[in-house]
């Protein structure tokens, strides 16, 4: 599987959630970088024991270089990182995520049970 490394400009800017980081992400990734920045700013990145999850219109499961969103699978054909992967990679550098000491799979099963 392809691995998506963050470019130097983003790594350098990943110190604070500020305009510098916004600009680096936008220049490198365009609209997807911009979206990634807003996920970071709004703290929509959650770390479970098994996966990272990004909260957007839906919840997207990110596993290193894979994401469950349509953009990644259909538009990008898993060749380039989507906004969620960019967000998670940047969040990891900055330790900017909420951490849950539980498995996302268990959490999902709980949610399904509640709906019944
Ligand atoms: Zn995605």
Residue with tokens 């849950």: 100
- Amino acid 35: pLDDT: 98
pLDDT in tens, 1-13: 578 999 999 999 9
**17: pLDDT strictly greater than 70:** yes
Residue 45 has pLDDT above 90, yes or no: yes
List the beta strands (DSSP E) in 7-100.
45-47, 52-55, 59-63, 66-67, 98-99
Q: If you measure from the C-alpha of residue 83 to the centroid of ligand 1, how many angstroms do you get, rounded to a whole number?
A: 6
Q: Which residues 6+ apart lie within 8 Å of 21 measured at CB?
A: 10, 13, 14, 15, 37, 40, 90
CA 41 to ligand 1 center in whole angstroms = 17
pTM equals 0.93
The phi, psi pair for 18, rounded to 5°, reads -140, -170
CA of 33 to the centre of ligand 1 (A): 12
Nearest-angstrom CA–CA distance, 43 and 52? 13
pLDDT digits 0-9 by tens, 54-112: 999 999 999 989 999 999 999 999 999 999 999 999 999 999 999 999 999 888 888 88
Q: Are 53 and 17 in contact (CB under 8 A)?
A: no
Q: How far is the CA of 66 from the centre of ligand 1 (A)?
A: 8
Q: Where do the domains of the chain lie?
A: 8-115
């Amino acid at each position: 599987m392809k691995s998506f490394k963050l470019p130097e400009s983003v790594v350098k800017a990943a110190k604070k959630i500020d305009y510098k980081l916004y600009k680096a992400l936008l220049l490198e990734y365009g609209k997807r970088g911009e979206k990634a920045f807003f996920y970071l700013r709004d703290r929509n990145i959650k770390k479970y024991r098994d996966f990272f999850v990004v909260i957007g219109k839906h919840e997207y499961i990110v596993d290193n270089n894979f994401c469950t969103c349509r953009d990644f699978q259909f538009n990008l054909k898993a060749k380039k990182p989507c906004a969620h992967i960019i967000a998670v990679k940047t969040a990891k550098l900055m330790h900017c995520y909420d951490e849950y000491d539980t498995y996302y799979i268990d959490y999902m099963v709980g949610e399904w049970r509640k709906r019944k």
